[in-house]
Structure 1
Amino acid sequence: MSQTVSLSLYRFAGFRTRAWALGMMALARSPLARTPDIGFWKLCGAGVGHGFTPTANPAVIAILAVWPDATTAQNRTKGTIFARYAARACESWTVFLCPTAVRGQWSGQSPFFVTQRTEIGPLAALTRATIRPGILRRFWARVPRISDTIGSDPNVTFKIGIGEVPMLHQVTFSIWPDQAAMDAFARTGPHAEAIRAVRREGWFAEELYARFTVLSDHGTWGGQSPLTSLPRKEAA
């Protein structure tokens, strides 16, 4: 069996459903913890930008979860607490991922383990960081350039910024058509400059970098599956 990671996004329209989603940031934690077969999980808010962002988007909630295999992931994310979110949301989308490379920790844990190292087709990248309070001003002065750059990159298929605690705990998630496109972004421009600053100035108290192959998805985001824009593989 290969560990499967799901990222579920829910969009809420109107004050009532957004207020419900806000209240569920506390109330959903117990049902999530009791979900059969779930491993590591995080309930997150979202930002308004393309990556790390200090401004919250009250219309979007994200649930990241780890499962023992793809079939379990697909079944569980259509039931229990996930179904309650989907029923209230005006739109929802879940993408399923297989870890291929992981470095670092998240909340003192190593949530993802690699059972497959082959990276074929579309890939996803996840960066999670706990930002040191003492460098918040410098961090947020530089990061918007990275968000703007990833948002304008023609190769990025999908991108979103989520997080557990605004300003301090931040996650970026993006999907790319292939390894070359992902590497081209990571090694140049503001992103590369920021990585050097992270090492030089010690921005993060904790950090995790993970890469995944994209397995499948269900639902829509912006009216369609974000994966539909990926180039189709030609038959061998």
Structure 2
Amino acid sequence: MVTISLINYSQNKYWAFKQMQLLPPHLAKIKGCEFVKLLGTGSGFGFSLWPDFSTYALLMKWKDENQAEDFFQNSNEFNELKSKSNSIETHYLESLGAHGSWYGENPFPEKGTYNGGQIAVITRARINIHKLPRFWQFVPKASKAIENAKGLITTKGIGEWPLIEQATFSIWENEQAMKEYAYADTHKEIIGKVKKENWYKEELFSRFNYIKSINH
């Protein structure tokens, strides 16, 4: 079980920003938590140069759903997030497998079976510093392509460090819609340049059955 919570703040934005450093060590000790990242988000579609200081993403992997529910319903850490934020929407995901790594490890190696419904995707890249200008040159083109993609339900740029560590979370109507975007000319062109010009120091592509969402 994987959850990603999008946390929106209308106030307490400085407090929220500080939690990027302060909160993850506490979350890593939560019973049943196997992986955790508290991520900033970008404005607009896909990768973004411009941060959205009103929204953060809490990505967690759990041993089972019961332990996830206990965290969301009973933990002091999540209760404080609720009290400080304006709204929290949590998406529940089931891993279909991933390739690549996140700081040297694959956090989502479990290979499930696609259930035929909505599908979620998390992509993450650590960009080679000397390739940053080349990467950001193509970001507007990539963002426009995904914004116009058929079958896209929603997407949000997420990441740990501005400029050099970028990720996206997206939800698609079905696997076919996701694949049609992935193999579309614009996306294929950019992926080709990524490989040929060695833009990324590290990358991860992970797919999930989309289970449900809850507003806390």
- How high is the TM-score relative to the length of structure 1? 0.87
Describe how 1:59-70 pairs up with structure 2 within 5 A.
59-70=54-65
1:180 maps to 2:180:
no
Assess, with a 3 A threshold, how the Cα gap between structure 1 residues 187 and 115 changes in structure 2: closer, same or farther: closer
For residues 208 and 126 of structure 1, the distance between their equivalents in structure 2, rounded to whole angstroms, comes to 8
1:49 to 27, 44, 47: 44
The residue that corresponds to 1:10 in the other structure is 7
* Alignment deviations for residues 62-113 of structure 1 (CA, whole Å, 9 cap, x no partner): 1101101223223323342222112211111000111112101001111112
Which residue in 1 is equivalent to 2:30?
35
Query: After superposition, what is the alpha-carbon deviation per residue over 1:104-126, rounded to whole angstroms, capped at 9, x for unaligned?
Result: 10011111122412342000011
Maintained 8 Å contact 1:99/1:211: yes
Secondary structure of 2:83's counterpart equals: helix
Aligned with 2:44: secondary structure?
Answer: coil
- How many angstroms apart in 1 are the aligned matches of 2:79 and 2:24? 15
Matched, 1:157 2:118: no
2:150, 2:177 within 8 Å by CA — same for their partners in 1?
A: no
CA distance in 2, matches of 1:77, 1:219: 11
Q: Which residue of 2 aligns with 1:123?
A: 119
Matches within 5 A, 1:72-221: 72-80=67-75, 81-219=77-215
* Distance in 1 of aligned mates of 2:21 and 2:80: 15
AA aligned to 2:6 is: L
How far apart are the structure 1 equivalents of 2:73 and 2:47?
A: 28
Give the conservation status (yes or no) of the 8 Å contact 2:131–2:199: yes
CA distance in 2 between counterparts of 1:144 and 1:12 reads: 27
Residue correspondences, number? 215
- Structure 1 residue 161, shift from structure 2 partner: 0.4
CA drift at 1:36: 1.3
On the 8 A contact 1:101/1:117 being kept in 2, the answer is no
- Output the CA distance in 2 between the equivalents of 1:30 and 1:78: 20
Gaps of 5+ in 1: 221-236
Structure 2 counterpart SS, 1:40: strand
CA contact (8 A) 2:157 2:169 kept: yes
Report the secondary structure of 2:168's partner residue: strand
Q: Residue 191 of structure 1: CA displacement?
A: 1.6
Root-mean-square deviation (CA, aligned residues, Å) is 1.4
Instruction: Verify the 8 A CA contact 1:12 1:90 in the aligned structure 2.
Output: yes
Deviation readout 1:154-195 (Å, 9 max, x if unpaired)? 421110000000111111110001111111111113222111
Secondary structure at the counterpart of residue 181 of structure 2: helix
Describe the shift of the 1:51–1:78 C-alpha distance in structure 2 as closer, same or farther (beyond 3 A). Answer: farther
Q: What fraction of aligned residue pairs are identical, expressed as a percent? A: 32
Does the residue aligned with 2:102 lie in a helix, a strand or coil? coil
Structure 2, unmatched stretches of 5+, are none
